[in-house]
Structure 1
Amino acid sequence: MASAFRGASGGFGNQLSDWMPTLKTADAGILPDLQMGSARADDLVKNHGYASGAVQLHVDNIVGSHFRLSYKPNWRSLGISEQDSRAMAADVESAWKEHAEDPVGCYLDAERKRTFTMMAREVVATHVNLGEAMASAEWISRSGSLFKTAIKMVSPKRVSNPLGVPDSERLRGGVEQDRYSSAIAYHVLNPRYGIGESLNGFNSGGWRRVPRETRWGRQQFIHIFEPREDGQTRAATQFMAVMEQLFMIDKLQMTKLQNAVVSAMYAAVIESELDSQTAHDMILGASTGGGNVQQGLTNMLAFSGQFHQGANVKMNGVKIPHLFPGESLNLKTPGNADNGFADLESAILRYTAAGMNMSYEQLARDYSKVNYSSARASMMESWRYFIGRRKVIPARFGASVFSLWFEEAIQRGYLTLPRKAKYNFYERKSAWCNTEWIGTGRLAIDGLKEVKEAVLRIESGLSTYEKELATMGEDYQEVFSQQVREAEERKTAGLPPPSWAQVTRFNETVEPEEQNPQTQGKAA
């Protein structure tokens, strides 16, 4: 016992003795509660401001307004020259952008509602909400479209075991698997609208079996998630670890709002100094000659009311209450104790931000207590997470969609492989479909400092224009081409060329770093 880990034993004071969790596989821990967790996360995103904002933060920081293709065929393994690969990349990127980002036709989307960037944004939003994203490859002939490849977005809520059969070794969570836990096919529920709201269960629709790929290797179903353990079939929502806290902070805010409404109320009452016996005698004796008590009370209140109506004393237009003898005016307001609400809310939001892998300032939209250095450190920590997510989630989705489109473009002759290539598309599919994806740029808190940093890295040989412009969300080739065109147009118009020498002046300007307002007094 002396050599054992205290975390695995009873702990200090034997306080861990009742903590006995069960060791389970990933599927055993996720699949039994998958539907309930997804339903609760879905409800949070619909009705909770912070949850909805967290999803939107992921979408805007990972994808942004344009998810741009940077085609990079592995020209060394394909046996072509770098010059040929660049020429081919220019043609491929142009053809892809024309088809994938068509805002009118939207032919790449089977539903014709989304451009490719919109699909990528939906993939990220769905992955945050439900822990995974899914889509199927369709073959649709439509007038006006050069290509038949179309992508049908599939909600993970629709993938389940047919007729609600229990999970087994080869069928778990609606996914057929082989003995290596590799997916073979997916069962997608097509609900019968109007019969019931549930997406899983008996008599709620028909299941369509979609194979993962065809016999010749063309992908038919796209399933994007980041597994944490071996044999994991499905993924849980990202809100699972913070769901209880988010749910309770909503209740806490609503309770505080009701308290604020009640606290805004007041009541003005007139108190009398008459004791109970005197008031009783006055009421009973208010009516003489055998009248009843009710009539005596009425006469007394009427007399008091006439007095208050006649006592109309004003000073400079302001009425001064002149009370009946023995009365006093009191203003009643309920208590309004804060009870540490702001600190409790901040603590819950910090816990939630840590669980969602973002900074508290981003989630709460509160930058009032940080200086430049703190804000930038927080932003860079979140940016590293967002870049990793971009590579794992939307970039994988983009690579799958691009591979499907590129295969058709090659087979139908819209694109031509270099004649000197050693291998055809199917012999080196991965090399021909090697892609990079450029999303939104990194937020610049101080634009001048960010530019100076980028210039210094390039001049010192620690970075390249491609990397720095990609960090800004731009393609360096497009920027260089535009600069050449602008220089030619300035020359034609008789304007002087742009002065790039000003870039070197950035190093001469040294600005004092912002200080936290809370520490300025100490520094002084």
Structure 2
Amino acid sequence: MLNILKRQIAEVPNVTQINSHESVVKKGSRVFSNAMRWFKAGVNDRLTSAWPSTPLPADLIVERYQRTLVARSREQCANNDYGRNYLRLTHQNIVGPQGVTLQAQIRNGQGKLDNKLCDAVEQEWANWNKKHYCDIQGKKSWRSIQRSCVISAAKDGEFFVRIIRGADAGDYGFAVQMIDAQRCPIMYSAKLSGGRFIRQGIEFNQFGRPIAYYFDSDSEEEKQYRFGSGNYIRVPAEQIIHGYLEEIVGQKRGLPWTATSLFRMKQLSEFEDSAITNARISANKMGFIQWKEGRGPEFDPEEDEIIIESQAGEFPVLPDGAELKEWSPNYPTGEFLPFHKAMLRSMAAGMGVLYNNLASDLEGVNFSSIRQGTLDEREHWKELQQWLIEALIEPVYYAWLEYALLKGVIKKGNVSLKAVDIERYTQVSWQPRRWAWIDPSADVTAAEKSKNNMLTSAGAIIREQGKDPQTVWAEIARDTRAMIDELVAQDISKEIAEEMVLASMGHKQTTGVGRPKEGM
């Protein structure tokens, strides 16, 4: 029986046997050595001595590196072409030309869509979206605020938006204010009573829920940040929207989205500058004039330093006693482009964008490769769109809805909506921007087959194009009715007019028994 059990137990492969005669120390060292073979990244030796081997908490990482990363990210996004292009890609694909639009889905007691009520909410929301109402300064529309928040998150790692109500909020009485993220002091920490504490400029309760935010009290005319001054104003957390991508559990502040790419971005910029300078000097090189002994002009002996500038079309004179050594600055040559592309590919991977889009390089791509890369990148943008909705748009909408209902500005006809039904009015969906089909013919055919085989709905296909299904169907109905009425007005019978319109929409005409007519 024991032999049968022994045969059923699989032997552990690749484990060094340990004899009972070996010492405990020797056994332990051999076990440790065998275990270390499984993870090369866990080895500590001279090749990995500079590699951190102790995990750092999120607070320490942010406090140590955030300000430096933000400063360098801002500099590169202002001066580096690829940094500016990345910012353009972020707000262009996350926000787009129309921003994230509201689609009210409010239903009546019978469970049907209440179109008039939905239109009332959407119309008042669109009215507030104008720059005169939504921005405390009256400069930015709601779409522009979304764009600024995305740029701030990409460049600084986070954004702060303050909700302001009452007389200070302008004519509407409800507005938002964007706050520079660096005005919230990253190094301000304190321990308070009742388990409360301040960490990185944010006050938390004992469970880590934000209670208030601290910002430096400089007025708009001040131009400098003040760190460690203690001159802060406290703003309740109910008035602040703080958006950032959490990468480590317990992270309280955001890091720039360009953090992993900044080093290569800076070095690549310096590399390009050196190559450009070298190429320019090489192009300027013409020659030198060297006089025979005793025939050259006299030079001022008091000049300690001799400077020869490289200018196109000039032949500088060598000083007395100077000889020309061969110098041929032919760089950059063939190795420039492969290295340049390798650095850009690494940067694009860290940023989550397609190399061809970041570098504006479509050389050598084919349809299949660019389609696969574009689809993968779009999934990344969709995820960030949902983050923006959850971090910014929904909190602002719920706060606006509460204020608008209490003020009575949302009306269905001449009747103001009641605030007691606020839960009902929160039944909305958000439509971010979408993109054109890569291969329209094939993609339309695939969408049509999916709809006809009940794998998707017409509404889902419309939403993938960034449109509201109810709006599209209403527009189709209006166009259809307008076409029929115009044909009838031109002395065409109503029956023929309807058949003509349906035929223009791809509908096959049928006989009385439901079969297509001949020739159709």
Distance 1:259 1:71, change over 3 A: same
Distance 1:150 1:196, change over 3 A: closer
Structure 2 contact 182–225 (Cα < 8 Å) conserved: no
Residues in 2 aligned to 1:391 and 1:81: alpha-carbon distance in whole angstroms:
31
Residue 132 (1) aligns with residue 137 (2): no
Residue among 233, 252, 270 paired with 2:252? 233
Please give the per-residue CA displacement for 1:312-353, whole angstroms capped at 9, x wherever unaligned: xxxxxxxxxxxxxxxxxxx99643442611111111111111
Residues in 2 aligned to 1:457 and 1:176: alpha-carbon distance in whole angstroms:
51
Matches within 5 A, 1:91-490: 91-100=120-129, 102=130, 105-141=131-167, 145=171, 147-160=172-185, 165-166=188-189, 170-192=197-219, 197-202=224-229, 206-213=231-238, 220-268=239-287, 334-338=329-333, 340-415=335-410, 429=423, 432-490=425-483
Q: Secondary structure at the match of 2:281?
A: helix
Structure 2 contact 451–457 (Cα < 8 Å) conserved: yes
Please give the per-residue CA displacement for 1:76-102, whole angstroms capped at 9, x wherever unaligned: xxx9433254442222112211221x3
Please give the per-residue CA displacement for 1:154-201, whole angstroms capped at 9, x wherever unaligned: 12111126xx64455711111001111111001122425676523534
Distance 1:109 1:196, change over 3 A: closer
Residue among 89, 94, 119 paired with 1:90? 119
Instruction: Identify the residue that residue 500 of structure 1 maps to in structure 2.
Output: 505
Higher mean alpha-carbon deviation, 355-364 vs 33-42, is at 33-42
Instruction: Identify the residue that residue 64 of structure 1 maps to in structure 2.
Output: 96
Q: Secondary structure at the match of 1:237?
A: coil
Distance 1:157 1:502, change over 3 A: farther
Please give the per-residue CA displacement for 1:263-313, whole angstroms capped at 9, x wherever unaligned: 2123156899xxxxxx66xx6xxxxxxxxx789xxxxxxxxxxxxxxxxxx
Distance 1:337 1:135, change over 3 A: closer
Structure 2 contact 162–178 (Cα < 8 Å) conserved: yes
Deviation at 1:35, TM superposition (A): 1.5
Please give the per-residue CA displacement for 1:369-403, whole angstroms capped at 9, x wherever unaligned: 21111111101111111101100124531111111
Higher mean alpha-carbon deviation, 331-340 vs 398-407, is at 331-340
Residues in 1 aligned to 2:427 and 2:243: alpha-carbon distance in whole angstroms:
18
Residues in 2 aligned to 1:485 and 1:19: alpha-carbon distance in whole angstroms:
67
Instruction: Identify the residue that residue 320 of structure 1 maps to in structure 2.
Output: none
Please give the per-residue CA displacement for 1:492-517, whole angstroms capped at 9, x wherever unaligned: 332852622289xxxxxxxxxxxxxx
Residues in 1 aligned to 2:170 and 2:483: alpha-carbon distance in whole angstroms:
39
Larger RCO: Structure 1 or Structure 2 (Cα < 8 Å, ≥ 6 residues apart)?
A: 1
Instruction: Identify the residue that residue 7 of structure 1 maps to in structure 2.
Output: 40
Structure 2's unaligned 5+ residue stretches are: 1-31, 298-325, 488-496, 509-520
Q: Secondary structure at the match of 1:381?
A: helix
Residues in 2 aligned to 1:434 and 1:27: alpha-carbon distance in whole angstroms:
37
Deviation at 1:231, TM superposition (A): 2.3
Deviation at 1:46, TM superposition (A): 1.0
Deviation at 1:359, TM superposition (A): 1.0
Structure 1 contact 269–332 (Cα < 8 Å) conserved: no
TM-score normalised by length of structure 2: 0.74
Residues in 1 aligned to 2:386 and 2:376: alpha-carbon distance in whole angstroms:
16
Structure 1's unaligned 5+ residue stretches are: 214-219, 273-278, 284-292, 296-330, 419-423, 504-524
Distance 1:270 1:142, change over 3 A: closer
**What is the Cα-based RMSD across aligned positions, in Å?**
3.2
Instruction: Identify the residue that residue 309 of structure 1 maps to in structure 2.
Output: none
Structure 1 contact 265–333 (Cα < 8 Å) conserved: no
Structure 2 contact 73–256 (Cα < 8 Å) conserved: yes
Structure 2 contact 344–355 (Cα < 8 Å) conserved: yes
Please give the per-residue CA displacement for 1:409-434, whole angstroms capped at 9, x wherever unaligned: 2112233699xxxxx867974x6424
Residues in 2 aligned to 1:338 and 1:236: alpha-carbon distance in whole angstroms:
38
Instruction: Identify the residue that residue 303 of structure 2 maps to in structure 1.
Output: none
- Identity among equivalent pairs (%): 20
Residues in 1 aligned to 2:333 and 2:379: alpha-carbon distance in whole angstroms:
38
Deviation at 1:117, TM superposition (A): 1.0
Residues in 1 aligned to 2:353 and 2:116: alpha-carbon distance in whole angstroms:
40
Distance 1:363 1:95, change over 3 A: same
Residues in 2 aligned to 1:65 and 1:18: alpha-carbon distance in whole angstroms:
46
The residue identity in structure 2 corresponding to 1:137 is I
Structure 1 contact 439–473 (Cα < 8 Å) conserved: yes
Distance 1:459 1:14, change over 3 A: farther
Report the number of matched residues. Answer: 428
Distance 1:170 1:85, change over 3 A: farther
Structure 2 contact 188–201 (Cα < 8 Å) conserved: no
Please give the per-residue CA displacement for 1:351-375, whole angstroms capped at 9, x wherever unaligned: 1111011111111111222111111
TM-score normalised by length of structure 1: 0.74
Residues in 1 aligned to 2:80 and 2:169: alpha-carbon distance in whole angstroms:
42
Instruction: Identify the residue that residue 19 of structure 1 maps to in structure 2.
Output: 51
Higher mean alpha-carbon deviation, 183-192 vs 262-271, is at 262-271
Instruction: Identify the residue that residue 27 of structure 2 maps to in structure 1.
Output: none
Higher mean alpha-carbon deviation, 458-467 vs 373-382, is at 458-467
